[in-house]
Structure 1
Amino acid sequence: MIKHHPSDETLFRYAAGSLEPGPRIVVAVHVGGCEVCASRIGEFEAVGGSQLHDIEPDELEAGALDRAMAMIEADEAGRRTLAARPGLPRAEVGIRLPEVLDECGIGPWRWIGPGVRWSRVTLPGDDNANVMLLKVRAGRRLPEHTHAGHEYTHVLQGSFSDARGRYGPGDLDEADDDVQHQPIVDKDGECICIAALEGQMKLRGFFGRLIQPLIG
């Protein structure tokens, strides 16, 4: 049972298309398996559509239609270019990833500490999005940290806990700079998550400072 969901603000930004690409892909993974959040997004989209319907139309500026058509053609040309490019590299990560990640590049697992591995996730058309897969050994305690911005973490397999509760498969943990925590993976198996950062994670302690340059 899914117990932890994105905030309404995040779901609204997702529905409005204003959520950054990294967090958007993590929220999309969650929404793909969460009927509650999918329904909530439908409500936000309906409200947005109703507001658009009630807005009095303005006359178009001269040349506005031509500019809009040029933008559509440029977008279509960009999509054809992306489609013609070779697929992004994908490494075998050991689990079946959600379909929403099928077009993403998946890097190999890399060591960042005892019992902790990470894999870079590359988004089509956005090489700068800070998205990663994390695989953590059962019972492993992660470095204590806070955030400069928001961190979105969706559990794909296994579970972890911190002072705010327990997060299992399908749960999404949304943390901001008011949250300082130290996740601990449950002892019954390794935990695999997909995470995206808006801003940076600020790790504490010697081990945290050691691996900070690897995570960003």
Structure 2
Amino acid sequence: MAGDDLNTVDALIAHYAAGILPEPARVLVAAHLEIQAVNRPKLLAFETLAGDLLEKIEPAPMASRESRLEEIFLSKVDTSQRAERPARPKNALLPPSLRDFVGFEAEDIPWKTKLPGFKEYIVGDFDGFEVSFFWIRPGRAVPAHTHKGCEFSLVLDGAFQDARGRYGPGDISVADDSVDHRPIAENDRPCIGFAVVDAPLKLTGSLRQMIGDLIG
């Protein structure tokens, strides 16, 4: 999956509509759409566009065409079911798609402290992506870094800010080797999120800044 093809949330949703996202990224976008219903019409628009493009493709032999139509029909049914799901319960931090993927609730996440004020749980590797949850203490800054590949982060609770803006519940941060940032959790509550990455990050801050982030 080329990072240049997925450097915006719209691009992620378009690939999701086309059914060509790797499973971890598909789950992340599905969870985003469950939290932020405002983007579901955008998904439907991309699906309509994909349908229009399919109609322009030269008809396939009858057997394969019937098979393809069945696949499209089933895909549309699944999408409709996703779009019509009721809002997540107020006491459930993980949206349904994410709960189904990891197999547990937020309160069961076995956090491990990685840095002062920063906890993580690595779910595992799927389709060449490392999947994890992260927890950032209120007001804590994550050391400045860039990425050797792609990183998609979905905020589940709380919020963080970096030079690009603010990311709150349901927002997706898309970062690659063109992004050098230093996320800072807002002061009122921890920032909890779900991350999908295909390569390690690379620290970029000065030693003095990193020490300040670690002991601050």
TM over 0.5: yes
* Equivalent of 2:98 in 97, 101, 106: 101
Contact 2:146 2:201 (8 Å CA) reproduced: yes
Structure showing the higher strand proportion among its residues: 1
Q: Work out whether residues 142 and 184 of structure 1, in 8 Å CA contact, stay in contact via their aligned partners in 2.
A: yes
Partner SS, residue 58 of structure 1: coil
Q: Which sections of structure 1, spanning at least 5 residues, go unmatched?
A: 1-5, 73-93, 210-216
Structure 2 counterparts to residues 1-216 of structure 1, below 5 A? 6-59=8-61, 96-105=93-102, 108-122=110-124, 126=126, 128-204=128-204
The answer to whether the 8 A contact 1:21-1:129 is kept is no
Residue 204 of structure 1 deviates from its aligned partner by: 3.5
Q: Secondary structure at the match of 1:169?
A: coil
**Which whole-Å CA distance do the structure 2 matches of 1:36 and 1:204 have between them?**
35
Q: Deviations over 1:82-102 (max 9, x none)?
A: xxxxxxxxxxxx963111122
Cα distance in 1, alignment partners of residues 208 and 92 from structure 2: 28
Counterpart CA distance in 2 for 1:208 and 1:95 is 36
Question: C-alpha displacement at 1:122, in angstroms?
Answer: 4.7
Displacement after TM superposition at 1:21 (Å): 1.9
CA displacement at 1:199 relative to structure 2: 2.7
The whole-number CA distance in structure 1 between the counterparts of 2:203 and 2:12 is: 24
TM-score (norm 2): 0.70
Q: Partners of 1:148 and 1:179 in 2: how far apart?
A: 10
Cα distance in 2 for partners of 1:140, 1:191 equals: 9
**Higher helix proportion (structure 1 or 2):** 2
Whichever residue aligns with residue 39 of structure 2, its letter is C
CA pair 96-9 structure 1, distance change in 2 beyond 3 A? closer
SS at match of 1:51: helix
Aligned residue for 1:180, secondary structure, equals coil
TM (normalized to structure 1)? 0.70
Q: Aligned partners of 1:200 and 1:179: how far apart in 2?
A: 14
1:39 and 1:51 map into 2 onto residues whose CA distance is 19
Displacement over 4 Å in runs of 4+ = 205-209
Which letter maps to 1:178?
Answer: S
Deviation readout 1:94-142 (Å, 9 max, x if unpaired): 963111122233551111011111112358xx47531111011111111
Q: SS of the counterpart of 2:32?
A: helix
Cα deviations by residue, 1:152-201 (Å, 9 ceiling, x for unpaired): 11111111111111212222111121110001111111110111113332
Say whether the 8 Å CA contact 1:22–1:197 is kept in structure 2. no
Cα pair distance change 1:96/1:33, threshold 3 Å = closer
Indicate how the Cα distance of structure 1 residues 176 and 127 shifts in structure 2: closer, same or farther if over 3 A, else same.
closer
* Counterpart contact for 2:93–2:156, Cα < 8 Å: no
Which residue type is aligned with residue 114 of structure 2? I
